[in-house]
Structure 1
Amino acid sequence: MNLIIAIVPVLSLIVLMAFFKMSGDKSSIISLVVTMLIAFFGFHFPLDDLLFSFLYGAMKAVSPILIIILMAIFSYNVLLKTEKMEIIKQQFSSISTDKSIQVLLLTWGFGGLLEAMAGFGTAVAIPAAILISLGFKPIFSATVSLIANSVATAFGAIGTPVLVLAKETSLNVQTLSTNVVLQLSVLMFLIPLILLFLTNPKLKSLPKNVLLTLLVGSVSLGSQYIAARYMGAESPAIIGSILSIIVIILYGKLTATKEEKNQRNISKSKDIFKAWSIYLFILLLIIVTSPLFPGLRNTLENNWVTHISLPINMSTVNYTISWLTHAGVLLFVGTFAGGLIQGATVKELFVVLWKTVKQLEKTFITVICLVGLSTVMDTSGMISVIATALATITGNLYPFFAPIIGCLGTFITGSDTSSNILFGKLQASVAGHIQVSPDWLSAANTVGATGGKIISPQSIAIATSAGNQQGKEGEILKAAIPYALVYVCITGIIVYLFS
């Protein structure tokens, strides 16, 4: 009975969004109420713990998720205000007028780099917004951005998910990182091919799509494997994304038609720098404050810090924000500095920021309710019941289902890192009982979690907010579910066959 009622919140969210086509804010409010009632009456979760759990979830939703979403959309809106987005669009067109190449470059290349550096929704919000400005339909832009924001998530935010997994399971970081790359190997070819096919499904385009897929997939797999095996979790996604961007640009230049080659870029270098200044400043700030510079990062992390403690389940839960290394703050500073360079006044920038806040009102409600829901499910024991039941029922077939548990964790929480915190120890524990390498099964949790990002309601909320499509979350979820299912099935087969 506990298992049945524990599944209800997840099912209610899917049914309301995908089948009743209810907006994300309404679906999340209803599902949150259902979850809290189940926790109180079904799992006998004390009322004070219930309220503090929701409060803890709401705080996690505001920081880092909502602050990052707000600042990511703010950066895009500033580009619209200063009219520098036209130059960025021209830049992408000058690389190639081929829509497929533009989509792959923006989602897999640039989006992968944003995920590797910052994570937490930037890799969905910014590429989706730019795609829309290039003339792509909002639903298409959201869907391809979600699909692309999968593989890179494993090593997102400078390797945070795998680093956290290693800490939770006491396993070797490099071994875990290598296993993650091996389990994602097929998808490093399949996801780019899907992105290209969705953009241009014509049969005559298949040979060039396959060739570009092989080039990008090979570079991604080779570079990430070497980085993971010899360097650890911090660099695979960064190196893989940068090399992918280089390969896609070179391919676009080499395959350009005579007319495209004869086209000259009318923008001056100074104008190009101004147009890209926002994203250049953001990337620079993220790199400088990342674990790649541990001394500076430690200094910044220990200054201007907010600490909040909440009593939940007869223990104290600590909530900490290090503002000087906060990705949302870095996005704000980079956007503000870039906006000034682009000619906007301080007053104009704050006006754009306030309009962005108003634009994202429904997104704020959706994400707060979703993260609150996931926190209540975690602290009340619902998530543990679902995962343990799946592990018990599947027996020796468990390796095939291991990625599904990781996927479930991300679907509910919206975070690969959170999924690893929830289920990392469980995966390692089950591995010991069925005589499978704990490094292999623990890695499977992260790999499955990357698939869950495709259909995570939080990610979908970010995608809809990027295109001002709030209320169409169900439509995007329905479009994304088949890709997530195939994704998790492929990883399950790989994990099972080589376990």
Structure 2
Amino acid sequence: MIGLLGVFKVSGDKSALITLMVTFVLAILGYGQGVVDASLSFVYGGIKALVPILFIILMAIYSYNVLQYTKAIDVLKEQFSSLSTDRSIQVLLITWGFGGLLEGMAGFGTAVAIPAAILIGLGFRPIFSALVSLLANSVATGFGAVGVPVTVLGTETGLPAQALGVDVILQLSPLMILIPLALTFLSDPRLRALPKNIILGLLVGIVSLLAQYAAVKYIGVETPAILGSLAAIVVILAVGKLLPKGKEPVANTPEKRADAPRSVKRDAATMWKAWAVYGFIMLLILLTSPLIPSINSTLKWLLVSKPTLNIGGTPHGLTISWLTQGGLLLFLGSLLGGLVQGGKLGELLKVLGRSVWQLRKTIVTVICLVGFSSIMETSGMIALLASGLASLTGAAYPFVAPAVGALGTFVTGSDTSSNILFGKLQTGVAEHLNVDPTWLAASNTAGATGGKIISPQSIAIATSACQMPGEEGPILKKAVVYALVYVAIAGVVVGIFI
């Protein structure tokens, strides 16, 4: 998989399909797994791929496509342009605040593409817009798309998702403060802006950290990125109101183009409607979360599927509570929001069909990824890899565990895919080292969020949004230092507190 994607530049869907076929043959010829058991392992993986992973991915993209269809995305862009003229405020608000909200509700590239495009619309230079959007889209990806990376990690490893989420927050806590600081310094590097940058960055980072920790501890893994971003937005806007107005026109500052467009005034009703999709999604997530136990327990009891397959004499089963599925909540929120924004039901369903077609390659990729990961587990490949890594690195492994997750995201472009590839590997190594498997599994997500900064897919999205075709190299060169430091910090935290 790494060779096909990283060396031979084969597309993700073809790489995953070829890797699946190779894994299938290796399981039979090299590990003695029967053809029937290998086939059932793939089917079991395919079921896990469809629900919840692909269900959420599809509906996350659908929510964004609905905003494009109703033109509400244009109104959202205009609102940001009128909130503040301070560079640090604008960048934090758009990349960390709104970008984190997009990552929490939709993910899968939207949190890089939309903030970068908005920054350019406000007059920031393209390469700067791409860099800060990539940096900001790091920590939030741990709980992106309604918490699907951690949900998937829990499914793959058999560990409680909420316990994994708490450990992810703890491991990322220093970075949750350092990234906002870095964004403010990049936005306004002037010496006289230093006190403002430090205060703003620390406030935003600490509030985001506390909100995310409280969300995962008391609600679940679906809401940390969403609630953390909302809390950050409130703080950013409050600080922005307290800051004195600058004397220089924003368009003449070093990081902005002189052709920054002016915002268009909209009436209040139009502005509120623009947020309808995300408002309904947020409301549904909160109503069905453990925050309201009576509703949550009732919905989990209704419409439950429990597919079970017998693989090698061992039953492998899943429990799917359809009415609390993140994908269903995203679909209902997007549909209701689209109707409020003036969309027609028939057209909104056509948008859903186009979204499915848009993700056809992603569907193949994810099914093959989870399929060959399942075969690797049942055939004994994961156990062998874990044993080898444990023997090779010994007690030092926790320090490099996040780098494994970062490699997975660099190759696949997805925190979720990295957890599928290496989640079971991390818990296997934990067993060999006799350390906490939850902490080590969480380190995969912590590292994966750093790899997201420089994944080719993320950079390609950034260059597309910033209209910089062929400029992936310069962006990668600027971003790679931040990514390496990010993963190194995560490694130190994981290794010291294991």
TM bucket (normalised to shorter chain) is 0.7 to 0.9
Cα displacement (A) at 1:291: 1.5
Distance 2:132 2:42 in 1: 32
- The gaps in structure 1 that reach 5 residues or longer are 1-12, 433-437
Deviation readout 1:263-317 (Å, 9 max, x if unpaired) = 9872222111111101100110011111212221121122223332222232222
Mapped contact 1:220–1:243 kept (Cα < 8 A)? yes
Cα displacement (A) at 1:168: 3.8
Change (3 A) 1:381 1:195: farther
Distance 1:21 1:461 in 2: 12
Deviation readout 1:238-265 (Å, 9 max, x if unpaired) = 65433222222233444464778xx987
Q: Which residue of 1 aligns with 2:265?
A: 266
Q: Which residue of 2 aligns with 1:5?
A: none
Q: Which residue of 2 aligns with 1:275?
A: 274
Distance 2:160 2:118 in 1: 44
Cα displacement (A) at 1:19: 3.1
Change (3 A) 1:57 1:151: closer
Mapped contact 2:28–2:35 kept (Cα < 8 A)? yes
Distance 1:293 1:299 in 2: 10
Change (3 A) 1:158 1:66: closer
Mapped contact 1:154–1:447 kept (Cα < 8 A)? no
Mapped contact 2:307–2:318 kept (Cα < 8 A)? yes
Q: Is the counterpart of residue 241 in structure 1 residue 237 in structure 2?
A: no
Written as runs of structure 1 = structure 2, the 5 A alignment for 1:346-361 is 346-361=345-360
Q: Which residue of 1 aligns with 2:6?
A: 18
Aligned counterpart for 1:422 among listed residues 421, 424, 429 = 424
Mapped contact 2:176–2:208 kept (Cα < 8 A)? yes
Distance 2:328 2:94 in 1: 23
Aligned counterpart for 1:443 among listed residues 433, 439, 454 = 439
Amino acid at match of 2:309: L
TM-score (norm 1): 0.76
Q: Which residue of 1 aligns with 2:16?
A: 28
Q: Which residue of 1 aligns with 2:489?
A: 490
Q: Is the counterpart of residue 149 in structure 1 residue 140 in structure 2?
A: yes
Cα displacement (A) at 1:320: 3.4
Change (3 A) 1:292 1:63: same
Distance 1:418 1:184 in 2: 20
Q: Which residue of 2 aligns with 1:339?
A: 338
Amino acid at match of 1:128: V
Q: Count how many residue pairs are aligned between Structure 1 and Structure 2.
A: 467
Aligned counterpart for 2:83 among listed residues 74, 95, 107 = 95
Distance 1:98 1:56 in 2: 52
Mapped contact 1:419–1:446 kept (Cα < 8 A)? no
Q: Which residue of 2 aligns with 1:309?
A: 308
Change (3 A) 1:359 1:398: closer
Q: Is the counterpart of residue 134 in structure 1 residue 122 in structure 2?
A: no
Mapped contact 1:220–1:244 kept (Cα < 8 A)? yes
Distance 1:158 1:288 in 2: 21
Distance 1:455 1:76 in 2: 24
Distance 1:397 1:83 in 2: 52
Change (3 A) 1:305 1:373: same
TM-score (norm 2): 0.76
Mapped contact 2:137–2:452 kept (Cα < 8 A)? no
Q: Is the counterpart of residue 42 in structure 1 residue 30 in structure 2?
A: yes
Amino acid at match of 2:235: V
Amino acid at match of 1:362: K
Mapped contact 2:301–2:321 kept (Cα < 8 A)? yes
Mapped contact 2:41–2:311 kept (Cα < 8 A)? yes
Q: Which residue of 2 aligns with 1:184?
A: 172
Task: Name the SS of the counterpart of 2:306 in structure 1.
Answer: strand
Change (3 A) 1:98 1:360: farther
Deviation readout 1:419-469 (Å, 9 max, x if unpaired) = 89736754654564xxxxx55x74243133222245479x98799789989
Identity of aligned residues (%): 42
Task: Name the SS of the counterpart of 1:310 in structure 2.
Answer: strand
Q: Which residue of 1 aligns with 2:258?
A: none
Amino acid at match of 1:44: G
Amino acid at match of 1:414: T
Aligned counterpart for 2:97 among listed residues 99, 109, 112 = 109
Mapped contact 2:103–2:110 kept (Cα < 8 A)? no
Change (3 A) 1:217 1:419: farther
Q: Is the counterpart of residue 376 in structure 1 residue 375 in structure 2?
A: yes
Q: Which residue of 2 aligns with 1:9?
A: none
Distance 2:429 2:347 in 1: 51
